[in-house]
Each structure stands twice: as C-alpha cells, then as structure tokens.
Structure 1
Amino acid sequence: MLGIIGGTSLLFSTIPDLKKESVATPFGNADLLSGEIVMLMRHQYGRPPHRINFRANLAAMAIAGVDRIVAFGSSGSLKKEIPPGTILIPTDYISMTDIPSIHDHAIEHVRPELSRALAEKLSAVVSEARLGGVYVQTKGPRIETVAEVKTLAKIADIVGMTVASEATLACELGMDFAALCTIDNYANGLGAEVLTFDHILSTSKAYSHRTGEILGSIIRQMG
C-alpha cells in the first residue's frame, strides 16, 4: 500500500476524502487518514518539526500495511541554481541533528537510504521534478543562520527539518521511501528578501494548485 506523508507544502492543497483513525504503536498513538492509500500529516495539531513523534508516525504507517512512502517536504534551496518553485527528488540525505530509531534495546545495522527505484518511478510520474541531490536535515524550529547556510551549502543542495528522520525510520521498518521536495524559498542569506515562516507559507500557498495536482497524479499512478 502507498503511504503519503504531507507537511507544509500540502497545507493549502485538496487532499483525498479518507477516513481518520488513531493507530496505537509502541511509541505512542498517531493519526492516519486511510482508504485506498494511507496519509499522515506530520504537523497535525500544529506540531513543529522538533516536536514530531517520528517513531509513532512511521510505526503507525507500517502497522496500517504501508510498504512504500512518498513524503512531501517543504525545503529551502542551498544553491542559486535551484530556485524557489523547483520540485526536487533527493537521492541521499545528511542529518545535522539526532535521528530517531526503533532499535532501543538491540544493536541493528540497517543501511539508511532513499529508494532509488521509488525515486525514479516518482520522477516519471512528476515529470517536472529534478531527480538527484542531497537533502540536509536541521532540527528546527528556527531557520538556519546565514553562516550555517554557507556551511551546509558545501555538502548539500536543499535543507529541511523532517525527511532524514522519516527516511531512516522507514528503512528500519522495511518500507521503501522517496521524498518529493517543493523548494519554497532560498535558504537564509541566499535571497534578497528577509526569510520568515510567513514567506515560506505564502510560497506554499501560491503553488497549492500544482501540489494538489501532483498529489492526485501520484495516487492515481502509484497507489
């Protein structure tokens, strides 16, 4: 079953009519929207990135029968050649913060990775997407400093606050994972404007129709 994780980029888009259910996991409860697919809105109840219960969210999706996940992620560009409005499917990731694990009481050596096969299939469905690039995750909720952005730009292409945690847990739980990142802003210091959360939201809203159409295409062709 296909699972969709939505965040800021889906706040203003039309989502399928699915049934809400609460799923109990060893890490707490998580609310899912279930039907022909399973959707999870990572910021439910206004939860900021550093307060998300990633373990409960991904465990709930696994319990619901999800075997592959496409995660929408609102991201900032670390490179001038990746302007706001771009859609990018990263093929690797870096974390600058603690990554959760389901393995609290055992030593496990699961190779964390994004699914190249799922990413390539996703790029065929979303033809306007740019395939390839490195996503770097910071903790949030604050926006990165200019000095941090200059440093991160040396090792990655885009920056966000959620995808690396979700990808790692999906891998541990045996689910294929690919991310579809909407570039909603230049990272702090790269653009002419002063970056604020309101600015990020306004860009998400401006592209909401396109994002909704992309979501519909993914469900029809990959669900």
Structure 2
Amino acid sequence: MLGIIGGTSLLFSTLPELEARTVSTPFGNAEVLSGDIVMLMRHQHNRPPHRINFRANLAALAIAGADNIVAFASSGSMNRDIAPGSLVIPTDYISLADIPSIHDHAVEHVMPELSRELSETLHRAVPAARLGGTYVQTRGPRFETAAEIKALSKIADLVGMTLASEASLAKELGIPFAAICTVDNYANGLTDEPLTWEEVLEISRQYRKRTGEIVNTIIRNLG
C-alpha cells in the first residue's frame, strides 16, 4: 500500500476522500487517513518541525500497511538554478538536526538512503520534477541565517526541516522512501527581500491546484 506524507505544501490542496483514524504505536498515537492508500499529515495538531513525533508518524504508516512512502516537503532553494515554484525529487540528504531512531534498546546501524527505484518511478509519474539534488535538514522552527545558507549551499541544493528524519526512520522500518519537494522560496540571503512564513504559505496557495493534481497522479501511478 502506498503511504503519502503531507506537509505545508498540501495544506491548501484538494485531497482524496479518506477515512480518518488514530493509530496507536509504541511511540505515541498518530492520525492517518486511509482507504486504498494511507496518508499522514506530519504537522499533527499544528506541531512545529522541532516538535513533530517522527517515530510515531512513521510507525503509524508501517502499522497501517504502507510498503512504499512518498513524502511531500516544502523547501527553500539554495541553488539559483532551482527557482521558487520548482519541483525536485532529491536523491540524497544531510542532517544538521538530531535524527530519531526506533532502536532504543538494540545496536542497529542502517545505511540511510532515498530509494533510487522509487525516486525514478516517482519521476516517471511526475516528469516536470527535477530528479537529483541534495536536501539538508535543519532543526527549525527558525529559518536559517544567511551565513548558514551560504555555507550549506556549498554542499546541498535544498533546505528544510523534516525529510532526513522521515527517510532515516523509513529505512529502519524497511520501507522504500522517496520525496517530492515543492520549492517555496529562495533561502535566506539569496535575495534582498527578507524571508517570511507568510511568503512560504502564499506560494503553497498559488500552487494548490498543481499540488492536488500531483497527489492524484502519484496515487494513480504508484498506489
């Protein structure tokens, strides 16, 4: 069963009609929307990025039967060739934030990755998206400083606050994971205009129809 993780980019989009239910996990409860697919909105109960219960979210998807996961993630571009409004399917990631693990009582080492096969399948379904690029996760909820972006832009293309945690947990759970990033803004310092949360939300509103169509396309092709 296909699992979809939604975030800010899906807030204003029309989504499939699914049944809401609460899934109990060893790490807490998480709410999912289920039917022919299972969808989870990561910012449950309006939790900011640094308060998301990633372990409960990913465990809930696994318990609900997800055997592939595609995550939607809002991101900022650190690459001037990737303009706001772009779609990117990253192929690697870096994290500057603590990565949660489901292995609290055992020594387990996984090789973190974004699934190449699932990413390529996702690209065939959404050819308008750019396949390739590195995502870096920061802790949030604050935006990055201009100096941080200047440094991070030497090693990555996109910046966000969620994907590395989700991808790493999915790997621990043995679930192939890919992501499609909606680029909502240039990262702090790449333009003269100050970056605001309202700007991020406005871009999401502008592309709400496209995002909804992409969700339905992914369900048709990967579900």
Report the TM-score, using the length of structure 2 for normalisation.
0.99
Structure 1 residues 165-221: Cα deviation after superposition (integer angstroms, max 9, x where no partner): 000000000100000000000000102321000000000110111000000100011
User: How far apart are the structure 1 equivalents of 2:192 and 2:122?
Assistant: 32
Listed as ranges, the matches of 1:1-223 within 5 Å are: 1-223=1-223
Per the TM alignment, residue 82 of structure 1 is displaced from its structure 2 partner at its CA by 0.7
Amino acid at match of 1:97: A
Amino acid at match of 2:157: D
Amino acid at match of 1:136: V
User: How far apart are the structure 2 equivalents of 1:80 and 1:197?
Assistant: 20
User: How far apart are the structure 2 equivalents of 1:44 and 1:15?
Assistant: 16
Where structure 2 has 5 or more consecutive residues not aligned to the other structure, the ranges are: none
SS in structure 1 at match of 2:117: helix
| 4+ long deviations beyond 3 Å | none
Per the TM alignment, residue 100 of structure 1 is displaced from its structure 2 partner at its CA by 0.1
SS in structure 2 at match of 1:60: helix
Structure 1 residues 105-129: Cα deviation after superposition (integer angstroms, max 9, x where no partner): 1110111110000000000000100
- Number of aligned residue pairs: give it: 223
Per the TM alignment, residue 45 of structure 1 is displaced from its structure 2 partner at its CA by 1.5
**RMSD between superposed Cα atoms in Å:** 0.6
User: How far apart are the structure 1 equivalents of 2:165 and 2:153?
Assistant: 20
Per the TM alignment, residue 14 of structure 1 is displaced from its structure 2 partner at its CA by 0.5
Where structure 1 has 5 or more consecutive residues not aligned to the other structure, the ranges are: none
Task: Among all aligned residue pairs of Structure 1 and Structure 2, give the percentage whose two residues are the same amino acid.
Answer: 69
User: How far apart are the structure 2 equivalents of 1:189 and 1:205?
Assistant: 23
